[in-house]
A and B are shown apart, each in its own frame.
Chain A
Amino acid sequence: MTIFRTENITKKFGGLVAVSNLNINIEKGQIIGLIGPNGAGKTTAFNMITGVYKPTEGNVFFGDEKITGLKPHKITKVGIARTFQNIRLFNELSVLDNVLIANHMRLKSNVFSSVLRTPDYVKKEKVIKEKSINLLKELGLEDVKEEKSFSLPYGKQRRLEIARALATDPQLLLLDEPAAGMNPQESHELMVFIHDIRDKFDLTILLIEHHMKVIMGVCESIYVLDYGVTIAKGTPNEMQNNSKVIEAYLGVE
């Protein structure tokens, strides 16, 4: 069953075509990779999907629903969550608060009942708090839940960003270079972790990665971008032997 697809999405920044006619098709439960050298347009593709940018052309579909150009908070609400290439945590806030905020949109309590702490609000707050603490437990962040998020080591910050995205109850999770800045060992562990959360949270995942090797083991299928153009797509093995892909990568590495 197709859960998500883009139809010829294109983004132009003035004369620069950052992404050109990108067609992604994702089946429920898949882990799909989006790779390419720096500046290939991967993050721009994410930004179009999540409503940060409106595509210059083309459409984005989630299930049967057309979600092109919806505001980012609406996209999150329909069930697409993301992380950022440059970690964007709420630095001054505690780890737990970072996750709690992701629940606000589904809280369904107005400002009056929240301030007056009506029994209904207190009950909802308790449920959310329990849910958040459980989530932190599952991701191994429970022991640092009261710490300010900026004080966490890098790896845990990455994991918290994923926890926060999961807290929005997504069906589709977009991860923008989650392994950036990690050594091969850490990257490998992260990929195992991503595989695990896919199963545990019943997710579909679209994963950006800069290095092809890192996602070889986890992705069922890979799209390769270069200068905004989709130069190839297929299984990791097919990609490894694809001359265009090798060429694109040789150009930078």
Chain B
Amino acid sequence: MKRNNLLNIIAIIVFIAILFILNMTLDAYKLRIFNLAGIYVILGLGLNLVNGFTGLFSLGHAGFMAIGAYTGALLTMSPEMKEMTFFLEPITPILANIQVPFPVALIAAGVIAGAFGALIGAPVLRLKDDYLAIATLGFSEIIRIILTNTQNITNGALGIKGIPGYTNIWWVWGIALITVIFMVLLIKSSYGKVFKAIREDEIAAEAMGVNLFKHKMMSFVIGCALAGIGGALLGSLIGAINPLLFRFLFTFNVLLIVVLGGMGSITGTVLSAVVVTVMIEYLRVLDIDMNLGFIRIPGIPGLRMVVFSLILLMVILFYQRGIMGTNEITWEKIFGLKNRISNLITRRKAS
């Protein structure tokens, strides 16, 4: 126990040192991809809590991300900037002059997305399986339609441009780190066990005295809040948002990361978020012309998504439950592996 705490602290310090180095060595483009990966970690963990750990089939993540992104944008933009952006119809006076520091805006994004989660969760969390999936998907689309039609709050279909770019490696990966720690502690706690019990067998969980609705709601609201914070970071990273950005495709991307990493695995989601985000960027080379010196391969736009889907198919075929399943990478396993390898080596030498 003590040893692990020490190792955790060392790991965190090493991680921060790595962030320092990356921040200094990576160019702006690569840094942006790395930060996007961090945002996917936050979004993925939120979705994994709901879908992977609690076993609720929710497909509404993009809607809550949108709420967070808009909240973050409207709370950080200067009044002048808002006036310029809202040229079709002026922004409502209540929001016109609000401007708060970035961390306050991030918290607000989480709180408001969480509050909407509670509002929507109250009716839909009584549903099960496919019905829950359809209902959450529907609500997510409704959020998008509302965003498109509230011109004086969201600037409608035009979206919001000129969002201050506060997002940097420290904000993104700092919050990602806090999210990971929070998730580990939550899952380890009695509440985490209850979430898993609900996933395993609702009827049995209820017979053990678990208030299903209360705990499903708790998990869902936390997941939505994380989506909101991730959304706000994303808005600030890319600088411009509009309702189209938060279509179902976005939920699908996050879901993909979670499924690939393993439903119900924190370390799986972290790994998968980084690998998938980086891979999608690197596969971009497939879309453009390739010059191998003696031969020129013409690029086929969209090829990278084909290749990516193929890789995805392979993983799902061979690892039905994602790369990690419900397992975690723990210090015990790392040391176990080390011992196994050294045993293997000594046995080789002996024979």
Which residues of A are in contact with B by a Cβ distance under 8 Å?
A: 50, 52, 71-73, 76-77, 81-82, 84, 88-93, 97, 100-107, 109, 111, 114-117, 121, 125, 128, 164-165, 167-168
Contacts and interface: CB of A to CB of B under 8 A. Distances in A.
Nearest to B203: A88
Given A90-B196, A101-B193, A81 B182 contact: no
A23 B227 CA distance: 52
B201 A90 contact: yes
Contacts of A97: 193, 196
Given A92-B200, A93-B200, A102 B209 contact: yes
B21 interface: no
A206 to B, nearest CB: 15
Contact of A117 (B185, B194, B204, B209): B185
Contact of A92 (B182, B185, B196, B209): B196
Contacts of B208: 73, 76, 101-102, 104-105, 164, 167-168
11 contacts: A73-B207, A73-B211, A76-B207, A88-B207, A92-B200, A93-B196, A93-B200, A101-B208, A104-B209, A111-B186, A115-B185
A19 B346 CA distance: 68
Contacts of A90: 196-197, 200-201, 204-205
Contacts of A103: 190
A220 B205 CA distance: 31
Contacts of B209: 73, 76-77, 102, 104-106, 168
Nearest to B194: A104
Given A90-B201, A101-B205, A115 B326 contact: no
Contacts of A125: 190
The listed residue with most B CB atoms (<10 A of its CB), out of A72, A121, A167, is A72
A140 B339 CA distance: 32
B207 A81 contact: yes
The listed residue with most A CB atoms (<10 A of its CB), out of B203, B206, B326, is B206
Interface string B174-216: 0000000010011001110110110111011111111110000
B208 to A, nearest CB: 5
A81 B196 CA distance: 20
Nearest to B187: A115
B185 A101 contact: no
A52 B203 contact: yes
Contacts of B199: 92
Interface residues of B, number: 26
B288 interface: no
B19 interface: no
B333 to A, nearest CB: 14
B196 to A, nearest CB: 6
Contact of B191 (A73, A81, A82, A114): A114
Contacts of A101: 190, 193-194, 197, 205, 208, 210
A93 B193 contact: yes
Interface string B122-138: 00000000000000000
Interface string B216-228: 0010000000000
A77 B211 CA distance: 10
A73 B326 CA distance: 27
Given A88-B203, A90-B204, A92-B200, 20 more contacts: A71-B211, A72-B207, A76-B209, A81-B207, A89-B200, A90-B196, A91-B200, A92-B199, A92-B326, A93-B196, A93-B197, A97-B196, A101-B197, A101-B208, A104-B208, A111-B218, A114-B186, A114-B189, A114-B191, A115-B191
B193 A109 contact: no
Nearest to A170: B209
The 4 A-B residue pairs with the shortest CB-CB distance, nearest first, are A105-B209, A114-B189, A90-B200, A76-B209
B186 A115 contact: yes
A100 B197 CA distance: 11
Contacts of B210: 73, 101, 104-105
Contacts of A81: 207
A111 to B, nearest CB: 5
Contact of B190 (A50, A82, A100, A116): A100
Contacts of A168: 208-209
A107 B189 CA distance: 11
B190 A109 contact: yes
A218 to B, nearest CB: 23
A52 to B, nearest CB: 7
B321 to A, nearest CB: 10
A125 B211 CA distance: 19
Contacts of B193: 93, 97, 100-101, 104
Contacts of B197: 90, 93, 101
B231 to A, nearest CB: 23
A90 B201 CA distance: 6
Nearest to A80: B207
Contacts of B206: 71-73, 76
Nearest to A88: B204
Nearest to A149: B200
Contacts of A167: 208
B189 to A, nearest CB: 4
A128 B182 CA distance: 23
Contacts of B182: 115
A117 B191 CA distance: 12
